[in-house]
A and B are shown apart, each in its own frame.
Chain A
Amino acid sequence: MLLIPCPWCGPRPEAEFHHAGQAHLTRPAQATDEAWAAYLYLRNNPKGPHAERWRHLHGCGRFFNCRRDTVTDRISGTSAPGAEAV
């Protein structure tokens, strides 16, 4: 189980959180089929450093960004949305 540092509540067990997918996806301004397919479905799915979102569902309820290595699962940092990326 991961120990995830919520930017507001501090380190908490993974069971309190909901994984909310790849971070920094922006809704396309132009609704072409390609742009929508990319926004809805295409993912980087990298083997290594990954920017993702979590929600502290059973805590403060807030979304935040997280940087985790998908090989070691080590979290290098979390940050509030809109704050400088970690």
Chain B
Amino acid sequence: MGGPTSFSAWGLLRRAFGGAWGEQWRSPEPKAAYDAVIVGAGGHGLATAFYLASEHGLRNIAVLDKGWLGGGNTGRNTTIIRSNYLWDESAAIYEHSLKLWEGLSQALNYNVMYSPRGVMMLAHNQHDVRVFRRHVHANRDQGIDNEWLTPEEAKVFCPPLDIGRDVRYPVLGAALQRRGGVARHDAVAWGYARAASALGVDIVENCEVTGISRGLDGAVTGVETTRGPIRTGKVGVVAAGHTSVLMAMAGVRMPLESFPLQALVSEPIKPVMPCVVMSNTVHAYISQSDKGEMVIGASTDVYPSYSQAGGPHVAMHTLEAICELFPSFRRLRMLRNWGGIVDCTPDRSPIIGLTPVPGLFVNCGWGTGGFKATPASGHVFAATIASGKPHPIAAPFNLDRFRTGRLIDEAAAAAVSH
């Protein structure tokens, strides 16, 4: 079939004199049957397909999406990448991801614009200080970089930050992961789609899964879609906010609730913000895109919803916090505001692995913070689907932990959203 031409400096130079780039992935009709079907063409689903094809030799597979690829949370998030979580299980998967980010543009031959500009998490009260210092120590044990900064050091690292004491939530210090940063969200989806398609994976857009078919033994036999039935013995559900809806088609209730989560961008300005700053206590997440816009993440609404919008007062709350932390941004105008539907688990850790239904696999519960995990999530989920056994890094994130009580409680650990 032949993939798209490889990107190179020579190719760039040649096209300066004319000639189109051509399409980067195929748009095939769905076949009647596949060896495996991935539901959801977000970053996680596309990465899963790419690693199934590239590392496990499964090429007769499809990724189905009800909309366009990357149109879900992948294309709506504020792209904060870091690996300084508290528990060893989390550190293992997020650090696996950070290592994959570091070589991803080369691996995919597609510039995902991974930019390790440093992620700084602000502490505003004694509780924050203790929790973040505990993280710094835990991370050192795990071999993960994370360091404690005084307010003055934080100001040096991020000059627009106000460290004055006469505000409601003064900055008392910060935890900095220098290897953390951001990447271009669309490029991640496009890069994985292009590389998977070149290996023979069918990516079928505008194809909503409406049912999961099962045989007399209960095992998966295929999916019903708006573009006809598809036979397959393996289904991987990677549908973020819609996971509960899909799993209900197979009679499985999930420990998930779906909430709208919002983000905003400002008008573009000259480079002023050198790093990513996050503050969970005042609910503000901010970085500057390469186009110059301030990219701002807000909180979730308090009630579950699929409205993909979110209340204006939630975004206002974040803007008030940003104006206090960065007084020089007060007169910036906001250009766009949107929402995504995030799937939250009770312990705020993901669920990756097998389900009570034979042949049905699930990768979900990434909630407000799964973009950073995209490469590792796809990598360990592909191994899990291919072998039928949980990958060692995925194993602790099993669905059964809610019965056994072995939770991976990042919610109590930091209650940080991204």
Binding site for B on A (CB under 8 A): 1-2, 14-15, 18-19, 33-34, 37-38, 40-47, 50, 52, 68, 70-73
Contact = CB atoms under 8 A, between A and B. Distances in A.
B313 A1 contact: yes
A14 B43 CA distance: 34
Contacts of A19: 302-303
Contacts of A70: 258, 304-307
Nearest first, the 7 closest Cβ-Cβ pairs linking A and B are: A45-B244, A41-B255, A37-B403, A42-B253, A41-B402, A19-B302, A19-B303
A41 B311 CA distance: 26
19 contacts: A1-B312, A14-B302, A15-B313, A19-B303, A33-B403, A33-B404, A40-B402, A42-B255, A43-B253, A43-B254, A43-B256, A44-B253, A45-B304, A47-B242, A50-B304, A52-B303, A68-B303, A70-B305, A72-B307
A1 B346 contact: no
A73 B402 CA distance: 29
A37 B347 CA distance: 13
B293 interface: no
Interface in B239-268: 242, 244-245, 248, 253-258
A37 B313 CA distance: 34
A46 to B, nearest CB: 8
A40 to B, nearest CB: 7
B257 A45 contact: yes
Nearest to B247: A45
A70 to B, nearest CB: 5
Interface string B293-312: 00000000011111100011
Contacts of A46: 244-245, 248
A41 B258 CA distance: 14
Interface of B: 242, 244-245, 248, 253-258, 302-307, 311-313, 346, 402-404
B282 to A, nearest CB: 17
Contacts of B244: 43-47
Contacts of B313: 1, 14-15
A32 to B, nearest CB: 10
A2 to B, nearest CB: 8
A65 B255 CA distance: 21
A18 B313 CA distance: 15
A70 B346 CA distance: 20
A73 B257 CA distance: 15
Contacts of A43: 244, 253-257
Contacts of A38: 253
Contact of A45 (B254, B302, B311, B346): B254
A27 B256 CA distance: 19
A2 B186 CA distance: 32
A50 B259 CA distance: 14
Contacts of A33: 403-404
A44 B304 CA distance: 11
A73 B403 CA distance: 32
Contact of B306 (A37, A42, A44, A47): A47
A43 B403 CA distance: 14
Given A43-B255, A43-B257, A73 B305 contact: yes
Contact of A42 (B242, B254, B304, B311): B254
Contacts of B306: 47, 70-71
A46 B304 CA distance: 9
B309 to A, nearest CB: 8
Contacts of A2: 303, 311
A73 B307 contact: yes
A46 B305 CA distance: 9
A44 B303 CA distance: 14
A40 B346 contact: yes
Nearest to B243: A45
Contacts of B402: 37, 40-42
A47 B210 CA distance: 13
B301 to A, nearest CB: 9
B253 A34 contact: no
A76 to B, nearest CB: 15
A1 B404 CA distance: 38
A73 B260 CA distance: 11
A18 B248 CA distance: 28
A57 B277 CA distance: 32
A47 B246 CA distance: 11
B368 to A, nearest CB: 16
Contacts of B257: 43, 45
Nearest to A52: B303
Contacts of B256: 43, 45
